[in-house]
């Protein structure tokens, strides 16, 4: 890019907003961890590879704008607008998830195998197991394709898929120890109701 375009400034704004929201989420996660630590029978299994998620998301926020700038990626108005809409939908779903999970929401796997009240089955959780992970997948798509960062889209989507493949299995192995979680989510799909 010989000069900074308005679309690239918009991209930087989106990434700055996303970075701020990630920091807020980490703060909420830490607060919720503290609130739940007083519960009896609370479980916090050790997640050896959690740091890889942090590396992935920080790298994405750095390398995607760099790809757009250094490789002079074009901005296509219809693609950009559709990705903005997708991003806004992701924000709404994320806010919904944070709201209905309350203190049970966390970036780490923290659960109580004997407390049925700690399991949320309302809202979007009536239909799928992992709306929060779905939001992450769609946000990576929206943010990378907003300004045609195809390399970032492919590379980080693949890496995210690999990490989620193991994280979801680890998380479900723990959560299915709670009878309410098991009864409600056994026949629910992970991301798309009735399909996947």
How would you label 54-71 residue by residue, b for 16+ Cβ within 10 Å and e otherwise? eebbeebeebbbebbbee
Residue-level pLDDT at 4: 83
Please check whether the domain covering 6-185 is classified as CATH 1.20.120.1630: yes
Residue 60: name the closest of 135, 146, 155 by CA. Answer: 155
Classify residue 48 by burial, with Cβ atoms within 10 Å: 0-12, 13-18, 19+. Answer: exposed
pTM for the full predicted model: 0.94
List b or e across 114-153, with b for residues whose CB sees 16 or more CB atoms inside 10 angstroms. Answer: eeeebbbeeebbeebbbbbbbbbbbbbbbbbbbbbbeebb
Q: Which stretches of the chain score pLDDT less than 50?
A: 1-2
Q: Where do the domains of the chain lie?
A: 6-185
pLDDT for the residue 3: 63
**CA atoms of 123 and 101, how far apart (whole Å):** 10
DSSP codes joined into one string, 61-117: HHHHHHHHHHTT----HHHHHHHHHHHHHHHHHHHHHHHHHGGG--SS--B-TT-GG
- The model's pLDDT over 89-101, given as tens digits with 9 standing for 90+, comes to 999 999 999 999 9
pLDDT at 85: 98
Q: What is the pLDDT of residues 146-189, one digit of tens each?
A: 999 999 999 999 999 999 999 999 999 999 999 999 999 999 99
């Amino acid at each position: 890019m010989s000069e900074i375009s308005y679309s690239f400034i918009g991209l930087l704004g989106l990434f700055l907003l996303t970075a701020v929201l990630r920091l807020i989420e980490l703060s909420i996660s830490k607060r919720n961890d503290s609130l739940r630590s007083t519960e009896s029978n609370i479980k916090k299994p050790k997640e050896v590879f959690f740091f890889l998620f942090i590396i992935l998301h920080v790298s994405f926020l750095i390398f995607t704008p760099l790809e757009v700038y250094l490789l002079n990626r074009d901005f296509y108005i219809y693609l950009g607008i559709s990705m903005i809409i997708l991003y806004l939908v992701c924000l709404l779903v994320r806010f919904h998830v944070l709201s209905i999970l309350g203190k049970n929401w966390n970036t780490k796997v923290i659960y109580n195998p004997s407390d049925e009240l700690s399991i949320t089955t309302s809202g979007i959780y009536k239909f799928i197991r992992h709306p929060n992970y779905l939001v992450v997948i769609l946000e990576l798509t929206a943010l990378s394709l907003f300004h045609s960062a195809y390399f970032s889209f492919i590379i980080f989507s693949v890496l995210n898929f690999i990490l989620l493949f193991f994280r979801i299995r680890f998380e479900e192995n723990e959560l299915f120890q709670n009878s309410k979680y098991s009864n409600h989510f056994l026949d629910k799909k992970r991301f798309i109701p009735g399909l996947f």
